[in-house]
Amino acid sequence: MPPLMRKHLTKAFPYVPGRPIEEVQREFGLRDVVKLASNENPLGPSPKALKAIRKHARNSHRYPDGDATELRRALAQKHGVRPEQIIVGAGTDDLNTFIMTAYAGPGRSLVTSLGSFIRYEQTAIVSGAGVKNVPFKNWRHDIDALLAAIGPKTGALCVANPDNPVGCMITKPEADRLVRGAPNRVFVLLDEAYCEYCAANPSYPDSLSYVKKRDNVMVTRTFSKAYGLAGLRIGYGISSAQVIETLNRTRPPFNAARLSQEAALAALEDDEHVEKVLSLNEEGKAYFEAEYERLGLECIKSYANFISVDTRRDAEAVFQALLRRGVIVRPLGGCRMPTWLRISIGLPRENRKCVRALEAALREVPEKQV
Ligand SMILES: *Cc1c(COP(=O)(O)O)cnc(C)c1O
């Protein structure tokens, strides 16, 4: 007999990550496999980050600085806040666990958008909390419905801006309304994992202004996307010193690895690399948009480094047909979008290979009658 699992975990479910390149190479006997499944940075890390990793590798026998002092100092300077307002995580996903432990849990609930980033829901369920899912409206966060879903038991409200997997953006007036409408007792997360990709958009909110005005708002940012350090697992949150103090009560002592902290510090110094990443992404986005239009496929306007597209077919079958052709993408059945794929924007060569494979897969998989 296995030991008795806590009952609330019957509602929990493991995260299904994108298939690793090596596994697909082995399974299908393919040499050239491209992965456009996890919104990773196709250009890789900044050369400055790579240099820092090599330099600090020899100190790997030492525990990291548990308080990430240098990195928090650099981030505080960059964002015009105090170091006490910053917490560093093993990826921002690490922070979701702290957030739910501190502000959700048994007897409380999370409010989020249905079909949005699944990790808010997963970490809330594991903490023992309930979840109120609010449907998107025209593939955008429905601000009024999110606010209306807040009840006496709501502990946290989480939105991603831009969203993943939908790719939509919450505008400044909408973000103003959301932050103003949420009661002070509710923790509000603005997850800005993809903010670099739309920072130049005049409608994108200056979310740090909310942190400066309110004690209950946290903005999270990551080194996994525009900075190309997903494999090192490092990200951070900015909030009031009170929220950071609370989250630190739940944080394990050495959660952010030494080489990750060093690489992040170096990556912050390389704006040029980020610029390259952003212009490559714009070019790739325009290419995919034009190709989807040519193929007569509906896609959702994306403000990030991926596009979600309606194949009008069983997306799982299209996903399999693409795998056989050496292209890994993300079917969105788990987000209640059974005919949709999310495809990350890669290098030009990878994008072209993906479109060629998609054309063949669309011929192979019959269209669904709806
Ligand atoms: C990729 C992503 C993150 C970043 O996760 P890390 O743990 O920092 O790698 C956070 N939120 C969303 C919505 C994402 O898509």
Nearest CA to ligand 1 atom 14: 193
Residue pair 113/158 in contact by the 8 Å Cβ criterion: no
SS3 label, residue 110: strand
From the CA of 94, give the closest atom in ligand 1. Answer: 7
pLDDT on residue 370? 61
Q: Is the CB of 195 under 6 A from ligand 1?
A: no
Tell me how far the alpha carbon of residue 209 lies from the centroid of ligand 1, in angstroms.
22
Class of domain 47-267: alpha beta
SS3 label, residue 340: strand
Evaluate if residue 109 carries a pLDDT over 80: yes
pLDDT on residue 18? 81
pLDDT tens digit sequence for 248-264: 999 999 999 999 999 99
Q: Which of 125, 155, 149, 124 is nearest to 135 (CA)?
A: 149
Look up residue 300 and give its amino acid.
I
pLDDT tens digit sequence for 290-343: 999 999 999 999 999 999 999 999 999 999 999 999 999 999 988 889 999 999
Q: What confidence category does residue 55 fall into, taking pLDDT thresholds of 50, 70 and 90?
A: very high
Determine the average pLDDT of the residues in 220-225: 98
Q: Is the CB of 168 under 6 A from ligand 1?
A: no
Q: Is the CB of 230 under 6 A from ligand 1?
A: yes
Average pLDDT of the chain to the nearest whole number: 97
Lowest-confidence segment of 14-18, 155-159, 236-240 by average pLDDT: 14-18
pLDDT on residue 19? 85
Query: Residues 253-256: contacts with CB within 8 Å, 24+ apart?
Result: 253/66, 254/63, 254/64, 254/66, 255/66, 255/88, 255/89, 255/90, 255/94, 256/64, 256/68, 256/71, 256/88, 256/89, 256/90, 256/94
Q: Is 302 exposed, middle or buried (0-12, 13-18, 19+ CB in 10 A)?
A: buried
Block residue for tokens 């509906």: 298
Q: Is the CB of 222 under 6 A from ligand 1?
A: yes
User: Does the model's pTM come out above 0.75?
Assistant: yes
Tell me how far the alpha carbon of residue 241 lies from the centroid of ligand 1, in angstroms.
23
Block residue for tokens 């048994």: 106
From the CA of 90, give the closest atom in ligand 1. Answer: 7
Sign of CA dihedral 179, 181, 184, 185: negative
Evaluate if residue 96 carries a pLDDT over 90: yes
Q: Is the CB of 160 under 6 A from ligand 1?
A: yes
From the CA of 92, give the closest atom in ligand 1. Answer: 8
Q: Quick one: DSSP state of residue 320?
A: H
Q: Is the CB of 191 under 6 A from ligand 1?
A: yes
* Centroid of chain to Cα 75: 19
Residue pair 120/112 in contact by the 8 Å Cβ criterion: yes
How many whole angstroms separate alpha carbon 96 and alpha carbon 100? 6
pLDDT on residue 15? 85
Tell me how far the alpha carbon of residue 244 lies from the centroid of ligand 1, in angstroms.
19
pLDDT tens digit sequence for 149-180: 999 999 999 999 999 999 999 999 999 999 99
3-state percent helix, strand, coil for the chain, nearest multiple of 5 = 45, 15, 40
Residue pair 332/340 in contact by the 8 Å Cβ criterion: yes
**Angle (nearest 5°) at CA 189 between 271 and 193:** 30
Q: Is the CB of 117 under 6 A from ligand 1?
A: yes
Ramachandran angles phi, psi of 358, nearest 5°: -65, -40
User: What are the structural domain ranges in the chain?
Assistant: 7-44+272-364, 47-267
Q: Show Cβ contacts of residue 44 under 8 Å, excluding neighbours closer than 6 positions.
A: 228
pLDDT on residue 14? 85
Residue pair 333/165 in contact by the 8 Å Cβ criterion: no
CA atoms within 13 A on the CB side of 284: 31
> Which H or E element spans position 238?
strand 235-238
Q: Please report, for residues 85, 179, 185, 326, the alpha-carbon distance to residue 79 in angstroms, rounded to integers and kept in the order given.
A: 10, 19, 25, 41
How many whole angstroms separate alpha carbon 201 and alpha carbon 197? 9
pLDDT tens digit sequence for 60-93: 999 999 999 999 999 999 999 999 999 999 999 9
Side by side, which strands form the sheet with 340-344?
298-299, 306-310, 340-344, 330-331
Q: Is the CB of 39 under 6 A from ligand 1?
A: yes
Evaluate if residue 243 carries a pLDDT over 90: yes
> Percentage of the chain with pLDDT > 70?
99
For the domain with range 7-44+272-364, which CATH number is right: 3.60.15.10, 3.90.1150.10, 3.30.70.600, 3.40.50.300?
3.90.1150.10
Nearest CA to ligand 1 atom 1: 193
